[in-house]
A and B are shown apart, each in its own frame.
Chain A
Amino acid sequence: MKKIFSRPRSMTDKPMHFCPGCTHGVIQRLIAEVIDDLGIQEDTIAIGPVGCAVFCYDYWDVDFQQASHGRAPAVATGVKRVHPDKVVFSLQGDGDIAAIGTTEIIHAAARGEKITCLFVNNSIYGMTGGQMAPTTVVGQKSTTTPRGRDRDLAGYPVKMTEMLSVLDGVVYAARVSVHNPANVLKAKKAIKKAFEVQLRGEGFSLVEILSTCPTNWGLSPLDAVRWLEKNMVPYFKLGEYKVPEEKKHEEIAVAEVAG
């Protein structure tokens, strides 16, 4: 028999610290698989967030910088400007990217930084113990929304991928999920596309990945993936919001109008 599935080469041997059934681990692996598939392990510089993914440098065997909370896109910008020929990507949680670091992600995207930002949306602050996140859905309970997120008090979840996809610097923007194998495989494809956009030097790429937090949601891992499908997917619609071809069409259309 032939081995068809094993630990990606660019992953270290270290067991991951995530809680049982937290799909963060799946995302870590997918990124490593893409790094392997593209043969870019020696050319990659990863930027880590503050949040549950803070230890991701322990799991990828690539050059790595640990950013402060929310600033990974700014750190990635500094790295990419020094090493324009390297692959630079960041991994961030929803608090990191959609609350404290909103400024950094929007402007990195608007500048069309040739970096890839991967955004793990688990609709909660995992690392600090389950407080409301900017992506906590209306009605969802957290330790700071004990009666469920109240839209009058705390407003509505932030739809980052929709927001960012309207910026001209963004070449690829997609939202995927990892709540079942079919979606995991789609998620990998999106991550790969995002890296390819960077490798072709086209501009900014973003993949938002819906992920579970069984511990802070207070659910078993299996209930958590079901909860994600039922409560997050309808609000955070999956799909590609911007693809490189679209950008080309746009440019053609503008050129025609101008001509």
Chain B
Amino acid sequence: MAIGRIVIDEERCKGCALCTAACPKGLIRISGRLNGSGYHPAEIVDGEKCRGCALCAVMCPDVAIEVEKEAS
């Protein structure tokens, strides 16, 4: 069961990949898809491993990531 969940707003994402380096577990990568602005948005893989640390969102320059976490 995932402790955390991130939601990437693909239309806001500019594919800069700063989140991919910010994730301590390396769960984020740049997708092969194109968004409406012509960027490859980031996507999460192995979402169930997300611990909701929010470091990806902290680093995102476009406020494109929302984070949810299991109340402990």
Interface residues of chain A, those whose CB is within 8 Å of chain B, are 1-8, 11, 15-16, 18-26, 29, 180-181, 184-185, 214, 220-222, 225
- Binary per-residue interface labels of chain B (44-72) against chain A in the complex, 1 for a CB within 8 Å, 0 otherwise: 00000000101101111111011111110
In the complex the two chains form, is A21's CB within 8 Å of B70's CB?
no
Which of A11, A15, A181 is the one whose CB lies under 8 Å from B58?
A181
In the complex the two chains form, is B62's CB within 8 Å of A25's CB?
yes
6 pairs of residues in contact across A and B, judged by CB atoms under 8 Å: A1-B52, A3-B67, A4-B52, A4-B54, A19-B14, A181-B22
Number of A-B contacts (CB under 8 A): 84
Bound complex: CA A29 to CA B62 (Å): 8
Cβ contacts under 8 Å, B67 to chain A: 3-6
In the complex the two chains form, is B59's CB within 8 Å of A26's CB?
yes
Cβ contacts under 8 Å, B62 to chain A: 15-16, 18, 25
In the complex the two chains form, is B57's CB within 8 Å of A5's CB?
yes
Cβ contacts under 8 Å, A3 to chain B: 66-68
The chain A residue with its CB closest to the CB of B59 is A181
Cβ contacts under 8 Å, A8 to chain B: 63
Interface residues of chain B, those whose CB is within 8 Å of chain A, are 4-5, 11-12, 14-18, 20-22, 39, 52, 54-55, 57-63, 65-71
In the complex the two chains form, is A16's CB within 8 Å of B61's CB?
yes
Which of A2, A5, A225 is the one whose CB lies under 8 Å from B18?
A225
The chain A residue with its CB closest to the CB of B39 is A20
In the complex the two chains form, is B58's CB within 8 Å of A25's CB?
no
Cβ contacts under 8 Å, B39 to chain A: 20
B39 to nearest A CB, angstroms?
7
Cβ contacts under 8 Å, A29 to chain B: 61, 63
The chain A residue with its CB closest to the CB of B61 is A25
Bound complex: CA A222 to CA B15 (Å): 11
In the complex the two chains form, is A221's CB within 8 Å of B17's CB?
yes
